[in-house]
Amino acid sequence: MKIVITTGIYPPDVGGPARYAVGIENALLEQGHEVKVLSYGIEKKLPTGVRHLWFLLRVLLNTRKTDVIIALDTFSVGLPSTIAGNITGTKTIIRIGGDFLWEQYTEHQIISIKDFYGSLPKLSFKERLLRKALKYVFNHADVLAFTTAWQRDIEQKAYEFDSEKAVVVANYFGPKKESYSPTRKNFIWAVRPVGFKNKDRLMKAFALARKENPEISLDTNIYPREELMQKISECYAVILPSVSDIGPNIIIESVEHNKPFICTKETGLFETLKDVGRFVDPEDIEDIKDAILELANYDTYSAYKGKVERFSKEHSWGDIAKEYVTLLKNN
């Protein structure tokens, strides 16, 4: 099978989509498929619209006799990939693990993704154009591969796409990794400082918790991936009380390293991990504070440590690649 993967970033770029692109590329190659990856190059320097048009031309030039285009986002590569697929008759699968419109909106107004789509607020002209572009992708791509059923259900109502073409291809869950006993009670919040990550409430909650337990500390530094994995392996716990967070990799990586975690209830990982970690109401500073103090308690920490150690789910790159191929065959 001839497959083209489109992605905004690819190594040596660092980030989730780059890691994902390499993971499924290698898995598909190992399974005997012919794979080509198209990623942003000069497009990164071009203005919105122009970069999409240029990338569209590249996709059109590189998808002759291609069986399927797998686009790893909805807008940067998802929009031109969908248009190219419609022009050439090539099947298009859009991987959806985030929401660009909602994320952009939370940079000036913090709101959960459920509330955002439950009663759509007034959007700027740019945001209205973006919503139209996303609606085109949702309604013209052949398959919508959401990483969680939680996001799929929220956005099906918002974009009114055919539910028959919306499926779930879960995120990568790797095997358990080496980790170390913590030497101090340090919590890691090592994520992009964007609006929906809820940093202000976290800082207030942590300050309140430290008044009751001065032994705890919070690391908000951003690290290169390899260094971050080392930090997680050595830390006490991971914390992520985002307003909403669709499928946060740092929580999955916490589980892989057998580290207890605190996570927002507003996430697509809740159903998978609800019996493993401590979930909080992201708008309730007291709940976040209480969760921090609970994990700082030795007995409670040991209980959560046991839960995360017993969690054994794996979902390999090979599994994901096979699911994409099955989607193509069934559509």
Q: For every one of its 331 residues, what pLDDT tens digit does the chain have, with 9 covering 90 and above?
A: 899 999 998 888 777 888 999 999 999 999 999 999 999 999 999 998 999 999 999 999 998 889 999 999 999 999 999 999 999 999 999 999 999 999 999 999 999 999 999 989 999 999 999 999 999 999 999 999 999 999 999 999 899 999 999 999 999 999 999 999 999 999 999 888 888 999 999 999 999 999 999 999 999 998 888 899 999 999 999 999 999 999 999 999 999 999 999 999 999 999 999 999 999 999 999 999 999 999 999 999 999 999 999 999 999 999 999 999 998 887 7
DSSP 170: P
Domain assignment present for residue 161? The answer is: yes
Give the closest residue to 23 by CA, choosing from 192, 233, 173, 179.
Answer: 173
Residue 37's DSSP bridge partners are 5
Whether 34 and 131 share a structural domain = yes
Q: What are the start-end ranges of the H helices in 76-164?
A: 78-88, 100-105, 113-118, 125-140, 149-159
CA distance 10 to 16: 9
Whether 294 and 319 share a structural domain = no
CB of 105 closer than 8 Å to CB of 121? yes
Cis status, amide bond into 260, omega within 30 of 0: no
**Pairing verdict, β 185-188 and 166-168:** unpaired
- State the pLDDT at residue 193: 81
CB of 233 closer than 8 Å to CB of 200? no
Residue type, 256: E
Domain assignment present for residue 222? The answer is: yes
Residue 163 token pair: 């539910």
Whether 248 and 192 share a structural domain = yes
CA distance 267 to 99: 13
CB of 202 closer than 8 Å to CB of 189? yes
Q: Kindly write down the DSSP assignment for every residue of 175-194, as one continuous string.
A: --------SSEEEE--S---
Whether 119 and 260 share a structural domain = no
Whether 134 and 235 share a structural domain = no
Domain assignment present for residue 180? The answer is: no
Whether 302 and 197 share a structural domain = yes
| Residue 147 CB partners (closer than 8 Å, separation 6+) | 95, 96, 97, 168, 169, 170, 171, 246, 247, 268
Whether 113 and 212 share a structural domain = no
Please give the backbone phi and psi of residue 262, each rounded to the nearest 5 degrees, phi first.
-115, 130
CB of 205 closer than 8 Å to CB of 172? no
Whether 65 and 107 share a structural domain = yes
Angle at 158 between CA 157 and CA 161, to 5 degrees: 70
Whether 209 and 123 share a structural domain = no
Residue 290 token pair: 């209480």
- State the pLDDT at residue 91: 95
CB of 112 closer than 8 Å to CB of 282? yes
Whether 93 and 6 share a structural domain = yes
Domain assignment present for residue 179? The answer is: no
CB of 243 closer than 8 Å to CB of 198? yes
Residue 97 token pair: 């693990």
Q: Which strands, in side-by-side order, build the sheet including 278-280? A: 216-219, 185-188, 237-240, 261-264, 278-280
Enclosing domain of residue 295: 185-310
CA distance 225 to 188: 14
CA distance 246 to 28: 25
Calculate the dihedral angle through the C-alpha atoms of 8, 11, 17, 19, rounding to the nearest 10 degrees. Answer: 170
- Sign for the CA dihedral angle at 98, 159, 166, 63 comes to negative
Total of domains in the chain: 2
CA distance 303 to 287: 19
How remote is the C-alpha of 237 from its chain's centroid? 20
